[in-house]
Structure 1
Amino acid sequence: MNTLAHASPEKLLASLQTMPLSELFQRAQDLRRSGHGTAISYSRKVFIPLTHLCRDVCGYCTFAKAPREVAKPYLSPEDVLAIARAGEKAGCHEALFTLGDKPELRYTAARDALAELGFDSTVDYLESVCALILKETGLLPHINAGVMTEPEIARLRKVSVSQGIMLETISPRLGERGGAHFGSPDKDPQLRVEMIAAAGRQRVPFTSGILIGIGETRLERIQSLLALKDLHDQYGHLQEIIVQNFRAKPGTRFAGCDEPDLDDLLWTAAATRLVFGATMNIQVPPNLSYDAFPRLLEAGINDWGGISPVTADHVNPEAPWPDLAKLESATERAGFSLQQRLAVYPAYVAGSAIWLDKQLATRVLRAVDADGFVREDDWMPGSLEPLPLAPRRPRVNVGIDALLSRAAAGSRLTESEVTTLFKARAGDVDAICLAADTLRSQASGDLVRYVVNRNINYTNVCSYQCSFCAFSKGKMHEQLRGKPYDLALEEVARRAREAWNRGATEVCMQGGINPRYTGDTYLELLRAVKDEVPGMHVHAFSPLEVAQGAATLDIPVRRYLEMLRDAGLGSLPGTAAEILDDEVRAFICPDKLNTEEWLNVIGTAHEVGLRTTSTIMFGHVEHYESWAKHLLHLRDLQERTGGITEFVPLPFVHMEAPMSLRGQSRIGPTWREVRLMHAVSRLVLNPLITNIQASWVKLGEQGVTALLQGGVNDLGGTLMNESISRAAGTQHGQEFAPEQMEAVIRSLGRRFEQRTTLYQQVPKERQEASFGAAPLTDMVMTPFSAKRKHVENVS
């Protein structure tokens, strides 16, 4: 249907006007659902009218005033900050600056006030107060400052995340005597088109739209929409199109004019959806439709615009914003979830490197989830903050029930279907978690397992530059957190013996990609443990280490895996996977194995008889589509080889991660996203991978307890010496003893069981040794410069 947008305005109008309203609305709704699912967005904002003075005299406007009608020409910096801080306290993220057009060109009072403030122009002052907002508050400015030059747009881009100007109409006819724009030079349509194009050249996320009911014809509306579409097709910068309905206001030239009725507004909004297609954000201000605003959703819109719990709509003061609770309730009754966004829309958040100033991009990324919407809570992985208490919300997308049924039956979902599950909001999240927990119960009953193990990270020296890793160190980067080390084999063997004495059945060994290491080094590390404790299961060497080891010996990966297996390797950790999406890997770990290479190493391990775990690291720069790709890669591999024992979601801990410190990533997944990752993985991997594990290191006791009720059946290892996540900033300690494991499981009325790495029963003497274990002795962190000693010296 969007092909209509390529027709002439006359043909497009004829097609739209002959289409039954019911069909028009249905097509608009179908497009909206295709592009936006069940999300209806809004921005929580404060409205800051920097000045009411304006050189234009539009026939319908009550915002613009003369100097005698205002207490002072401009808000002071203190006034601006007071409004902004009130908004911040009320949970707002946007500071909307609306002001008259170039008042200094008309009023002496404006020029004098600017001079007293120390500025030559309104735009100069606006730039300064936007910078003040950014410095003093957490709000992000959005600017509606009228017609500006391209250099002015470029300057304001550094202090705002988005800008906008309403085209209103493409028709110059309305600027003639008696028209709505008579006497308003800044309402010249060509002037506005040129400014919108300039914003496109400057890569500014931009808002525009049309104002209906001011004397234009429907044909002129279509022409205006097509003019905007042409601009967007050229620059890609129009993040939203507003369809605003004229309201007659006393005291204006248009006070006695007829207002467009609701049907006309709905027709225009639906036509706008058909012109711009599925993905454009179409907004109609709800306050201008009063109590009838829920009907606007019939026209295929997906955004309510800015809503303020603090300030009035100064452009339409007679029309108060709907109460947020009322807005949410009405949205949910219509079958949608209300999502708070920033002043910059999710698609432009995803492209922040292109669309936002670097410093602003950092602030934006820290405020959003993987879908680009505002984070629902302040919780983050690795912190000791309590889990957020989310109120029960109604279901909004019953369409996912068919997906849940197919997943429960073991069917392979498509990438778009998995993405749909990850996008779930409101009560749909609970429905997904319930479906996952039902599957968990069918697969595992009430049994929850864990393994007593010890981490041995034998070196933190690494030649790779992964942007998420706070553990590895460059060759001699002692200024980084922790000094470079390379454990002596005696220390590796000693730690394995100590772990055995404390009841461990496994040591998990991984390290950085030390440039001095060869394939023989990994074999030495393996033998150090097996010679000291023959009964210890060695779960070791990421696919990256395996690939490096094989390369240094100039042998195929398969041959090297066989050598490791024959030397006593029991299984491989499915780490270094991060996200199996090469577009994301190119940013977070460009020199690591790519997706195909990682899958090949893991698949080959399975073929030579070595089982592996599987992991995902999520919550940094990737998106839900990346999560879907990752899970389906694992499912397909498991269907082919059957060698994966469990899936372990690893929430990104951001505190010390380099890309977070550089402001290039989000701050980890939200709690909703953590719940969904564990639940959706249970569904998507069913029935091929039956063990879903929660990481106490990332989530803490409270987190894993909650996830055991959402599809998780395994608590992983006690670890004894967790160091990688601690280096990243997690505050959940380095060991979760068997007593703690079983207390968590018991609190839910579930049965507990110690397991081996390969999910076998643990001998009784091992279990007994694991309880009441002696404290760990001090570790010897062999400096990187020290010469490695051979295992033969270990007594």
Structure 2
Amino acid sequence: MSTTSMPAILDAVRQRALSDSEALALADYSDTAALAEVAGELRDRGYGGVVTYSRKVFIPLTHLCRDVCHYCTFAKTPKRIEQAYMPVEQVLAQVREAEKLGCKEALFTLGEKPELRYRAAREALAEMGFASTLEYLAHVAGRVLEETSVLPHINAGCMTDDEIAMLRPVSASMGIMLESASERLCEKGMPHYGSPDKAPAVRLETLARAGRACVPFTSGILIGIGETRRERIESLLALRALHTQHGHLQEIIIQNFRAKPDTKMASAPEPDLDELLWTIAVARLIFGAEMSIQAPPNLSPGVLPQIVAAGINDWGGVSPVTPDFVNPEAPWPHVERLAKETALSGKLLQERLTIYPRYIRDAERWLDKALRPRLLQAVDGQGMPRVDDWLTGQSDSAPDSDMALLRKERVAASRPIAAILRRAEAGERLDEDEIVQLFAARGDDFAAVCRSADRLRQQVCGDTVSYVVNRNINYTNVCYFKCQFCAFSKGKLSENLRGRPYDLSAEEIARRADEAWQRGATEVCMQGGIHPEYTGQTYLDILATLRAASPDMHIHAFSPLEVWQGAETLGLPLEEFLRQLKAAGLNSLPGTAAEVLDDEVRAVLCPDKINTQQWLTVMETAHGVGLPTTATIMFGHVDGYQHWARHLLAIRDLQARSGGFTELVPLPFVASESPIYLKGNARRGPTFRESLLMHAVARLVLHGLIDNIQASWVKMGEAGVLACLNAGANDLGGTLMNETITRAAGASHGEEVGPAEMDARIRAMSRSPRQRNTLYGEADPAQRERAARAESLKDVVNTPASKYERSKRGLIASG
């Protein structure tokens, strides 16, 4: 294929994968700048404005190796080392020190099966009670997992199926450098001569074994050791073929040879910068936008922006503790310096884990069952590491790093994010991919998304912050549904978690409603578990009791699940049941039971609950009979950004048809007492950045259709609410009087914030408070007066569930 066809090839790679013949044609094309231009476009498509790295500690478990690569200074003979293997306690001491410095990866590197060559290795292993180096490695990596929070990444060389199976439960990822697929380099006089484990077929078979075993794997090539450009491409194509078959290669490393003293290749020429940039660009063109392409930063000091421009998206592992034992002459750059050099290329340096996000998101396939809880606790919704200790419902302060970004005088959004924000501010419908990009925003992009949302909030709502004086009445915590996230509901006789099962009497429901009215409430919010003995008539009776107790109270009641179940138990069409509820006194519906409106998530989170379409049908039908509703999203558990995007679009599209949503309420998942979290099957809730972005992105996606975005002070805390009010939110929900569902899940923030305190908090945020009613009108003046002089709440009475009240009708009249 002639170079005259190269423009066509470069144009084609923007749309599709290159064929092998097209890729091989790149070997004769020397215009590195042209290659890098297209490679940079592909990298930006896959990774946007982020370049990642892993904060690691380097563990050289043994320097003994049976191979004799002519460029290597890592491998040593027994006479040149003090001990054959690092003792496990020495490893743990280094890992613990690294853990204190924020390291999340322990990179185990070692020579190839030295016991096959050296008696010293065999004797050392026998003395420790192990039959092989890899058996000892499995033991050490297991101890690291048990005793620290650091995740092992294992570079163990060539392995059998059994060895991979042995190491998989104790490592989050593994790797082996192919280096080259050229058999020529194994011939006499070439760098791999005398090194049986460097035979390309042997290494490729290990890579294939890892793929079949579903191990997230790292590989790559070493350039400048005598191979040709065509041979590099052949090596990359061999790796691509394996990845196409198994999908297990999480990154491809392009490592440039560095000549080292006291080796056979001490005087060999090193590849120049153009050679490195050319190879990086070609690797990107061959693997496309999605593959992570990495180049070690310590091997190319002073030219890192050029390397980024050639198409990499990752710097690999960088250690603040240990040197690069493979290239000891090349010190790691400090992370702060690496961040600055990355910024010079217009990119944000972002920490990642040793295992890449897409493999974490499909953990059942790619991770041993024992490792999944560790990974879930360590990551956010994208699969990136959590870098602060903020927890929903428990943290009183906001992370300094996020707040510093929000306070920056000037922020420069990347071109893709800036384009999306312009469309959102114009009221255009964003697509799923654009919304995902907004949720993934970090650094200046994160601040830009929040500021864009805040501009829209100012435009639509001004500086007024509203709230409603209300009371939550959760009439039963008995529920026959098995929602995995719920710490509130209980089986009929369950006494686990927080308190005994209860089922309120009609008299207690009426008493609470009357007390709420006397204390200035304009709304009661009624929700509970789905008691196995409840029917639709139960909900109608509850409304009758409330209306008798408090004729003028706004009744905001019954989730779509309760409505659906009520209609089914009475054998009524959904619309007819909703009309009956309205006639009985129902004023509006809460938008709960939504969790995340994506059935992929619901299948894990609440498999026996109504599905996405059923939830939307209840809401659309309610809007059709004149019952307005709120909308919610509970996020930060087993979901990802694409699920959040689908949820917001479902709400937006329904609102465009019906106009019945009054507000969106983001509900960050409170994990600590949630069953799914306690079982190790969910994350710890969203990060602070994600929680802010949910409010901001919701404002942007729903602009022009839903004006009110609510921040939950119970879940976000006072500092979090302040940040939300500067990121698109304009409402603080209710004063609550009683709140039990969030607290049952482990939240520690208060149960009631009265109007005086709410007003003071809002004014302290330099905003104007407004007490509203449920539908965002002005609160009744008489009720405002009552709220201002409200007495303390009386103790509640939770009727034990064993004394089931078959009738919810009461005779208490309003006081």
Q: TM-score, normalised by structure 2?
A: 0.96
What's the counterpart of residue 105 of structure 2? Answer: 94
Once the two structures are TM-superposed, the CA of residue 384 in structure 1 deviates from its matched residue by 3.0
Matched, 1:763 2:780: yes
- Measured against aligned partners, the alpha-carbon deviations of 1:569-621 in whole angstroms (never above 9, x if no partner) come to 01000111111111111111111121111111101111100110011011111
| Deviates further, 640-649 or 287-296 | 287-296
What's the counterpart of residue 713 of structure 1? Answer: 730
Q: Is the 8 A contact 1:206 1:239 kept in 2?
A: yes
What's the counterpart of residue 714 of structure 2? Answer: 697
Q: C-alpha distance in 1, partners of 2:591/2:506?
A: 24
What's the counterpart of residue 209 of structure 2? Answer: 198
Matched, 1:7 2:19: yes
| Deviates further, 406-415 or 314-323 | 406-415
What's the counterpart of residue 465 of structure 1? Answer: 482
Amino acid at match of 1:368: V
Q: State which of 49, 55, 60 in structure 1 corresponds to 2:71.
A: 60
Q: Is the 8 A contact 2:453 2:697 kept in 1?
A: yes
Q: C-alpha distance in 2, partners of 1:747/1:479?
A: 40
- Measured against aligned partners, the alpha-carbon deviations of 1:70-111 in whole angstroms (never above 9, x if no partner) come to 111111112101110111010000000000111111111111
Matched, 1:787 2:804: yes
Q: State which of 145, 151, 155 in structure 1 corresponds to 2:156.
A: 145
Give SS of 2:400's match.
coil
Listed as ranges, the gaps of 5+ residues in structure 1 are none
Amino acid at match of 1:551: E
Q: C-alpha distance in 1, partners of 2:125/2:291?
A: 38
Matched, 1:550 2:560: no
What's the counterpart of residue 299 of structure 1? Answer: 310
Amino acid at match of 2:152: P
Amino acid at match of 1:55: R
- Measured against aligned partners, the alpha-carbon deviations of 1:312-349 in whole angstroms (never above 9, x if no partner) come to 00000001111100111121221211111111000101
- Measured against aligned partners, the alpha-carbon deviations of 1:671-691 in whole angstroms (never above 9, x if no partner) come to 111111111111111111111
Give SS of 1:638's match.
helix
Give SS of 2:253's match.
strand
Once the two structures are TM-superposed, the CA of residue 275 in structure 1 deviates from its matched residue by 1.0
What's the counterpart of residue 433 of structure 1? Answer: 450
Q: Is the 8 A contact 2:412 2:445 kept in 1?
A: yes
Q: Is the 8 A contact 1:705 1:744 kept in 2?
A: no
Residues 101 and 539 from structure 1, CA distance in 2 versus in 1: closer, same or farther, beyond 3 angstroms? same
Q: Is the 8 A contact 1:5 1:226 kept in 2?
A: no
What's the counterpart of residue 295 of structure 2? Answer: 284
What's the counterpart of residue 169 of structure 1? Answer: 180
- Measured against aligned partners, the alpha-carbon deviations of 1:494-544 in whole angstroms (never above 9, x if no partner) come to 110111111100000011111111110000111111111101110000011
Residues 59 and 4 from structure 1, CA distance in 2 versus in 1: closer, same or farther, beyond 3 angstroms? farther
Q: C-alpha distance in 2, partners of 1:7/1:708?
A: 51
Q: Is the 8 A contact 1:653 1:728 kept in 2?
A: yes
**Residues 348-427 of structure 1: pairs in structure 2 closer than 5 A:** 348-390=359-401, 391-392=404-405, 395=412, 397-427=414-444
Give SS of 1:479's match.
coil
Residues 601 and 285 from structure 1, CA distance in 2 versus in 1: closer, same or farther, beyond 3 angstroms? same
**Residues 592-671 of structure 1: pairs in structure 2 closer than 5 A:** 592-671=609-688
Give SS of 1:609's match.
coil
Q: C-alpha distance in 1, partners of 2:610/2:344?
A: 48
Q: Is the 8 A contact 2:57 2:98 kept in 1?
A: yes
Residues 16 and 216 from structure 1, CA distance in 2 versus in 1: closer, same or farther, beyond 3 angstroms? closer
Q: C-alpha distance in 2, partners of 1:568/1:350?
A: 45
Over 6 Å off, 4+ runs: none
Amino acid at match of 1:751: S
Q: Is the 8 A contact 2:637 2:685 kept in 1?
A: yes
Once the two structures are TM-superposed, the CA of residue 14 in structure 1 deviates from its matched residue by 2.1
Q: Is the 8 A contact 2:26 2:282 kept in 1?
A: no
Q: C-alpha distance in 1, partners of 2:30/2:744?
A: 62
Q: State which of 24, 30, 36 in structure 2 corresponds to 1:25.
A: 36
**Residues 565-580 of structure 1: pairs in structure 2 closer than 5 A:** 565-580=582-597
Q: Is the 8 A contact 2:24 2:234 kept in 1?
A: no
What's the counterpart of residue 490 of structure 1? Answer: 507
Q: C-alpha distance in 1, partners of 2:419/2:245?
A: 40
Matched, 1:230 2:241: yes
Once the two structures are TM-superposed, the CA of residue 207 in structure 1 deviates from its matched residue by 0.6
Q: State which of 70, 75, 79 in structure 1 corresponds to 2:90.
A: 79
Q: State which of 306, 323, 329 in structure 1 corresponds to 2:334.
A: 323
Amino acid at match of 1:776: L
Amino acid at match of 2:308: L
Matched, 1:723 2:740: yes
| Deviates further, 283-292 or 502-511 | 283-292
- Measured against aligned partners, the alpha-carbon deviations of 1:270-324 in whole angstroms (never above 9, x if no partner) come to 1111111111111111111122122111111111000001110000000111110
Listed as ranges, the gaps of 5+ residues in structure 2 are 1-11
Give SS of 1:703's match.
helix
Once the two structures are TM-superposed, the CA of residue 169 in structure 1 deviates from its matched residue by 0.8
Q: C-alpha distance in 2, partners of 1:249/1:615?
A: 61
Q: State which of 532, 535, 547 in structure 2 corresponds to 1:515.
A: 532
Q: Is the 8 A contact 2:555 2:586 kept in 1?
A: yes
Q: How many residues align?
A: 794
- Measured against aligned partners, the alpha-carbon deviations of 1:338-375 in whole angstroms (never above 9, x if no partner) come to 11111100010101111111221111111111111111
Q: Is the 8 A contact 1:13 1:218 kept in 2?
A: no
Q: Is the 8 A contact 1:162 1:204 kept in 2?
A: yes
Q: Is the 8 A contact 1:332 1:396 kept in 2?
A: no
Give SS of 2:250's match.
strand
What's the counterpart of residue 775 of structure 1? Answer: 792
Once the two structures are TM-superposed, the CA of residue 792 in structure 1 deviates from its matched residue by 4.0
Once the two structures are TM-superposed, the CA of residue 16 in structure 1 deviates from its matched residue by 5.2
What's the counterpart of residue 463 of structure 2? Answer: 446
Q: C-alpha distance in 1, partners of 2:35/2:653?
A: 42
Q: Is the 8 A contact 1:4 1:274 kept in 2?
A: no
What's the counterpart of residue 346 of structure 1? Answer: 357
Give SS of 1:318's match.
coil
Give SS of 2:53's match.
strand
Give SS of 2:747's match.
coil
Once the two structures are TM-superposed, the CA of residue 385 in structure 1 deviates from its matched residue by 4.2
Once the two structures are TM-superposed, the CA of residue 396 in structure 1 deviates from its matched residue by 5.2
Matched, 1:134 2:120: no
Q: Is the 8 A contact 2:538 2:808 kept in 1?
A: no
Amino acid at match of 1:516: E
Q: C-alpha distance in 1, partners of 2:794/2:20?
A: 80
Give SS of 2:637's match.
coil
What's the counterpart of residue 696 of structure 2? Answer: 679
| Deviates further, 243-252 or 765-774 | 765-774
Matched, 1:539 2:556: yes
Give SS of 1:42's match.
strand
| Deviates further, 609-618 or 388-397 | 388-397
Once the two structures are TM-superposed, the CA of residue 13 in structure 1 deviates from its matched residue by 2.5
Amino acid at match of 2:123: D
Q: C-alpha distance in 1, partners of 2:555/2:17?
A: 63
Give SS of 1:358's match.
coil
Amino acid at match of 2:665: V
Amino acid at match of 1:165: I
Matched, 1:207 2:218: yes
Q: C-alpha distance in 2, partners of 1:14/1:713?
A: 58
Amino acid at match of 1:76: P
Once the two structures are TM-superposed, the CA of residue 748 in structure 1 deviates from its matched residue by 2.0
Amino acid at match of 2:612: T
Matched, 1:178 2:195: no
Q: Is the 8 A contact 2:20 2:237 kept in 1?
A: no
Once the two structures are TM-superposed, the CA of residue 402 in structure 1 deviates from its matched residue by 2.4
Over the aligned positions, Cα root-mean-square deviation in angstroms equals 1.4
Between the aligned residues of both structures, percent identity stands at 59
Amino acid at match of 1:473: K
| Deviates further, 160-169 or 292-301 | 292-301
